[in-house]
Structure 1
Amino acid sequence: MPPGHVRAPAYLRGKTGEIERPLGAFGNPEEQAYGRFGDMRALYRVRFTMAEIWGDSAERPEDTLDAEIYEHWLERVE
């Protein structure tokens, strides 16, 4: 687990999802957790399949999970 205040779920780290939609810009939660406003950051709703998250142990691989993740916690996949 990385140090500090991180709101990206650990079980989604390193997984590949698809941006479902942008949600706007909000204050950086890493800064707000310590009482500072911080820069505005873009927030996205990202969709993951259960197969991507849980692999072969996914009970219903085609089901999806949506998570709201800040842009600076995402990596582009080509």
Structure 2
Amino acid sequence: MGARFRPGDRVRVVAARPAISVGRAHIRTPHYVRGQDGMVAEVMGPFRNPEGLATGGDGLPMQVLYRVRFPQAQLWQGYEGPAKDTLEVEIYEHWLEPIHAA
């Protein structure tokens, strides 16, 4: 299974639950990053989908997991820390969409 994104790619976290998402009670992607733009920091490889595993499924098809970096000031209104502060979140591929350069 190949990764759709590479380190340095700009991505947007899907704001609504993706169609491929499974299960009713377990969503692994935090609300505070949904709809936000970030940058792929690392491709971690394919893993079973925890949204399916948590609800008794087999977690298939496997999904590529990424570490995505976000500027803290973008995530937290009124953030007063240094402008260079970032937060990295591990997010599965079905929650990400590409941001195309204008």
The normalised TM-score by structure 2 is 0.69
Q: Does structure 1 conserve the Cα–Cα contact (< 8 Å) formed by 2:49 and 2:61?
A: yes
| Structure 2 runs not aligned, ≥5 long | 1-15, 18-23
Identity %: 45
Structure 1 residue 74 and structure 2 residue 96: aligned? yes
Query: Within 1, Cα distance between the matches of 2:26 and 2:57?
Result: 13
Structure 1 residue 9 and structure 2 residue 38: aligned? no
In the TM superposition, what whole-angstrom CA distance separates every residue of 1:18-69 from its partner, at most 9, and x where no partner exists? Answer: 00010010001111011211211000000000121124x0112320000000
Partner residue of 1:32 out of 32, 42, 53: 53
Whose relative contact order is higher, 1 or 2, with alpha carbons under 8 Å and at least 6 apart? 2
- CA RMSD in angstroms, aligned pairs only: 1.7
DSSP 3-state at the match of 1:58: coil
Question: Hey, what does 1:20 align to over in structure 2?
Answer: 41
DSSP 3-state at the match of 2:98: coil
Q: Which amino acid aligns with 1:9?
A: P
Matched residue count: 77
The normalised TM-score by structure 1 is 0.88
| Structure 1 runs not aligned, ≥5 long | none
Query: Within 1, Cα distance between the matches of 2:46 and 2:36?
Result: 23
Which aligned segments of 4 or more residues in structure 1 are displaced greater than 2 angstroms?
A: 1-4
Question: Hey, what does 2:73 align to over in structure 1?
Answer: 51
Q: Which has the higher helix share?
A: 1
Q: Which amino acid aligns with 2:89?
A: A
